[in-house]
Structure 1
Amino acid sequence: MTYIHFIINPVSGGARHNLSEFFIKEFFPPEKYKIKTDYTLNKKHAIELTQKAVSKHPDIVVACGGDGTINEVASCLLGTNIKLGIIPVGSGNGLASHLNIPRDVKKSLEVIKSGNKILIDAGKINQHYFFSNTGIGIDAMIIKKYEHSASRKLYSYIKAAILSSFEYRTQPAVISFDDKILNLKPFMVFISNSNEMGYGMTLTPNAMLTDGLLDLILIPDLSFAEKLTLGFHVLRGTVGKFEKAQHHQVQNLRIAMPLKIYTDAQIDGEHYNLKTNFCKISIIPGALNVLV
């Protein structure tokens, strides 16, 4: 018998999905599957629920939510043989999109039932894991504003991006990777494991979850006109054509921001305030079994 444990964020995607244990069990015959469900109550609750689920040795743990919920669940599965399933009922759903997991709930449940799996890489920034992307530039401010918006929709993200472009002030940083040491005041430091940020937008269209590499985008301080041009390229998925965007593929990266005490970061689309001015970022190849 296959034991599948579902961790459901009931407010993901504006609470429009109405996932219930009764609905889920319709797809899994009781003679073949043991189904358990838990519902998150707040941010980080999925971590607690997943840790409890892991202690019961399920075959699969399914994250039902957006990239933030997926991050909390997946982070607890690293170092285990438990497979991750994804029901993408969030707003952006960047990781699920990269993995071609359908947003239709019934179809994504069929993906879990099929049992096909791949091994994907995981990223790590200090003590936190990420599976899609992380950043410590303007994107961290955008996510912070987005989290405080009235709704989690694309127009709210665009509004947060426009406001942040006026408010964000660059700070000196020392960025080192491979044999390079760069001193700059970055507008954006974006590190990606996948090829999509969410809402169909991408800064790293050629990034892969299985290549053992992180895709790094560095963009220096910009004029107002250059910010408008960058925004156009972000919406078009053509950041590679923006002349001031540097692209590198790395396995390890260090970032020091000497004038800061704390560092704002976004990790898989969630805002974090890191209690340090130093970030160590690395890739963990083949770290997670995911059903696709």
Structure 2
Amino acid sequence: MKNNIMLVVNPISGDVDKSELIDAATIFAGKENLNLVIYNTSGAADIENIKVLYDTYNPERIIVAGGDGTIKMVAEAMESHDVIIGILPAGSANGLAVDLNLPSTIEENLEIAFHNGYMEIDMISINDKKSIHLSDLGVNAEMIKNYENSNIRGKWGYFLQTFSTLIDLGDPFTATITGDFETIECTARMIVIANSQKYGTGVSINPNGVMDDGKFELVILKNLDLVVLGKIISGNMPIDSDDVEIISTDKAMVTTNVPVSFQIDGEYCGTKTKLDIKILPKQMKVAIPNINRDVI
């Protein structure tokens, strides 16, 4: 009897056709004598449908062809199950895949997703919503809102919206941040809640972030002029300057003086004035390259 592998495909993520990827996964599973159960997301009852398929087929792994939002959805569906999640990057920016150093070819990612060892990564609860990667208040969330309303997808779309958002930049906001550290009151352009290091565009925002250390980082960007932005984009995050402050913690409360644009893992979530944040340790087993770290 063949063992089962489940493939969850987001047909619209990244605005790219997934047929080549599905064909490659089907061929790979056939060569490995595995039964591939394919589920295409629709945006309607996906979590419930994934749970039913898991209970029906009891797959060895669940492989996700999509972006961070699809990965997070599958992780939430499987939160009470002990299953390894493999990733076939197929979103607009693929932030988690970038941080895991997943390769660029379908063939290499299939091998990792189907067979490699895993790491158990943390998740973050923000106002009772889960984040697996990077969430933020301010400029980047505003850019994501503009991106979602535009017709250009992929990294080029992000690039265009970054500059148009900066051109129309309004006033900074004032934030009060409390936790098991001295209370911080500051004026900021952007506050990142980081479980990892890089955005899907490859820009490093939290150089020392670790996804399985039981901590998250608050990256406070107090200034975001073209000089600071240039340093961030070029990989020279100015962590020792007055423009940036980074706090590592397992819980915090962020309160702002005005409603500020907010996003979770690349999904715009409206404006917020208060974020209740806490770490959720060891929430998700994700397949990783062998060269990434010691594998389990």
TM-score after normalising by structure 1: 0.88
1:141 aligns with 2:139: no
Write out aligned runs for 1:149-168 (5 A). 149-165=150-166, 166-168=168-170
1:218 is aligned, of 217, 220, 239, to: 220
Give the distance between the partners of 1:108 and 1:128, measured in 2 at CA.
Answer: 29
Q: 1:112 to 1:153 in 2, by over 3 A?
A: closer
Q: What CA distance in whole angstroms lies between the structure 2 residues aligned with 1:146 and 1:31?
A: 40
Task: Give 1:277's aligned residue.
Answer: 273
CA contact (8 A) 2:79 2:284 kept: yes
Match of 1:50 in 2: 50
| Cα separation, 2, equivalents of 1:250 and 1:240 | 20
1:93 alignment counterpart: 94
The Cα of 1:156 is off from its aligned counterpart by 1.8
Query: How many angstroms does 1:31 deviate by?
Result: 8.1
In the alignment, what sits opposite 2:122? 121
Aligned to 1:204: 206
Aligned residue in 2 for 1:172 = 174
- The answer to whether the 8 A contact 2:232-2:238 is kept is no
1:239-258 Cα offsets, whole Å, 9 max, x none, are 23553101121111111235
SS at match of 2:19: coil
Q: Which residue of 1 aligns with 2:291?
A: none
Give the structure 1 partner of residue 246 of structure 2.
247
Distance in structure 2 (CA, Å) of the matches to 1:46 and 1:169? 39
d(CA) in 2 for partners of 1:136, 1:46: 28
- The total of aligned residue pairs comes to 284
**SS of 2:210 mapped into structure 1:** coil
Which residue of 1 is the match for residue 226 of structure 2?
Answer: 228
Point out where structure 2 has 5 or more consecutive residues left out of the alignment.
Answer: 289-296
CA change 1:10–1:19 in 2 (3 A) is farther
Q: Give, in angstroms, the shift of residue 158 of structure 1.
A: 2.2
C-alpha distance in 1 between matches for 2:157 and 2:26: 35
Shift of 1:95: 0.8
Deviations 1:73-116 (A, max 9, x none): 22222232021111002231121122122231221111122141
AA in 2 matched with 1:155:
W
How far apart are the structure 2 equivalents of 1:19 and 1:255? 44
The residue type paired with residue 173 of structure 2 is: Q
* 8 Å Cα contact 1:65-1:89 kept in structure 2: yes
Deviation at 1:216, TM superposition (A): 1.6
What's the TM-score, normalizing by structure 2?
0.87
1:7–1:49 Cα contact (<8 Å) kept: no
Provide the C-alpha distance between the structure 2 equivalents of 1:58 and 1:244, rounded to a whole number of angstroms: 48
Deviation at residue 30 of structure 1 after TM alignment: 7.8
